[in-house]
Amino acid sequence: MTGLAEFTAVRLVEGYRTGEFGPVEVTRAILERAEYAQSTVNAFVRLDADGALAGARASEERWRRGRPAGLLDGVPVTVKDLLLMRGGPTLKGSRTVSPEGRWAEDAPSVARLREHGAVLLGRTTTPEYGWKAVTDSPLTGVTRNPYDPSRTAGGSSGGAAAAVALGAGPLALGTDGGGSVRVPAAFCGVFGLKPTYGRVPLYPASPFGSLSHVGPLTRDAADAALLLDVISGPDARDWSALPPPPGSFVDALEGGVRGLRVAYSPSLGGQVAVRPAVAAAVRRAVTGLAALGAHVSETDPDLTDPVEAFHVLWFSGAAGVVRRLGPRRRELLDPGLREIAGIGARLTALDHLAAVDVRANLGRRMGRFHEAYDVLVTPTLPLTAFEAGAEVPRGAGLRRWTGWTPFTYPFNMTQQPAASVPVGVDGDGLPVGLQVVAARHRDALVLRVAHALYEAGVAGVEPSAGAR
């Protein structure tokens, strides 16, 4: 059977249930794609073919007996190399992390995957400690874009997004501290969700504090809902985790968008210069929302760019990442990470408290905004993928990655759920993302809006040549 690597997780589970195909043949097909993804875009730190096939055989036996372990039994999943996964090192893209040790503990989201019978394929690439919105590191080199390997996959979950785009597993776990799920999702033409902070438990805590969220990268919103149903289970190791969700995210997908109040902000009130092809693709998708019955208003949130406050929080986290490293080991770091860590180390407690005040004020304003509007829609990014191996586009006059991600990091500060939905390509055939944002705890609404776009044929892009 051909096409197994293109199937969504929902479709795979249905095929296992009916006996149309089994986890072993699916895993073999996806491992073949994973090898291709590694050779063409460098999506993986480590593939575990033997472990994946062993997991697939065990799953196949459970399905044969009619006793699947859970919602994802036999579905191949990848894990970003910032999340603990027992049986091998979590290197975080860094030459400063020793691979030695027992590595006997799973992160909460990985533990939930095992409990539900998922087939764990391997670890996807990240920039060092996830510090920037492109994926290259001193340890693993550059991860490239599936639509054009001369371009970046985005980051910091770039390996995860590239793997999904190339059929190397329908589901991937990523992390998002300033856009790190949504940015690569937009650049690679897949779906990415940053849930409400605490919706997915995280352990160990991120050095970037409550800016960092765990979230899914998938083929579509329905697969993300299925994965979120699994990984949102509670874990006592995360004291800031939310209680269990009130119901299934899959069950909440239906209902459409008729009657929803949608705020469409094409440029955050003129603060962001959006490339014409991106703006046009997003506007077409917003027109599609209106055609589905949503009440769309072109309006902007009260959102003065909080980049300086974000930098204080982010650079302080970077300083925390490296604080125990001696001078020799610091020389092994990505120079950009070393630079922002140095800035962070010079910040004061008062600087940090002032940034917290900015964050609280931003959260209050967005809370009031969502009293009037159910969701906010923006471009995910103002541009499409640029040259690989660079933190900022050549000639853009920008210093840091935050200069080209103004639509994403504000919603890490407010802890709101936000998703990137692919809505077409630009003139170079590079994917464009649309961002859907809702009030805190309304993850199901974000998924419902995105699902409506997929169901209506508004969302989605043609797969890259390597995935066909």
**Which one of the listed residues 180, 206, 265, 420 is annotated catalytic?**
180
Catalytic, 80? Answer yes
Cα 323 from chain centre: 27
Distance CA 455, CA 389 (A): 36
Per-residue three-class SS string for 344-364:
HHCCCHHHHHHHHHHHHHHHH
Bridging pattern class, strands 261-264 and 375-379: parallel
Do 173 and 110 meet the contact criterion of CB atoms below 8 Å apart? yes
Q: What share of the chain is helix, strand, coil (3-state, %, to 5)?
A: 40, 15, 45
Query: Which backbone phi and psi does 45 adopt, to 5 degrees?
Result: -80, -40
**Which one of the listed residues 80, 92, 132, 194 is annotated catalytic?**
80
Distance CA 337, CA 322 (A): 9
Tokens of 286: 């917003």
**Which one of the listed residues 156, 206, 265, 420 is annotated catalytic?**
156
Total number of residues shown for the chain: 468
Do 80 and 124 meet the contact criterion of CB atoms below 8 Å apart? yes
Q: Which element (helix H / strand E) includes 23?
A: helix 23-41
Any idea what DSSP says for residue 235?
-
Catalytic, 240? Answer no
Distance CA 208, CA 317 (A): 4
- CB count within 10 Å of CB 341 equals 24
Which residues, at least 6 apart from 164, have a Cβ–Cβ distance to it below 8 Å?
78, 170, 171, 172, 188, 190, 217, 218, 219
Tokens of 298: 């072109």
Label residue 441 left, alpha or beta by phi (over 0 means left) and psi (-120 to 50 means alpha).
Answer: left
Q: Which of 121, 16, 31 is nearest to 62 (CA)?
A: 16
Do 216 and 200 meet the contact criterion of CB atoms below 8 Å apart? no
Burial (CB count within 10 angstroms: exposed 0-12, middle 13-18, buried 19+), residue 31: buried
Integer-rounded Cα Rg, in Å, for the chain is: 20
Catalytic, 156? Answer yes
Distance CA 227, CA 215 (A): 9
Tell me if residue 182 falls in helix, strand or coil.
helix
Using omega within 30 degrees of 0 as the cis cutoff, is the peptide bond preceding 266 cis? no
> Which residues are known catalytic residues?
80, 156, 180
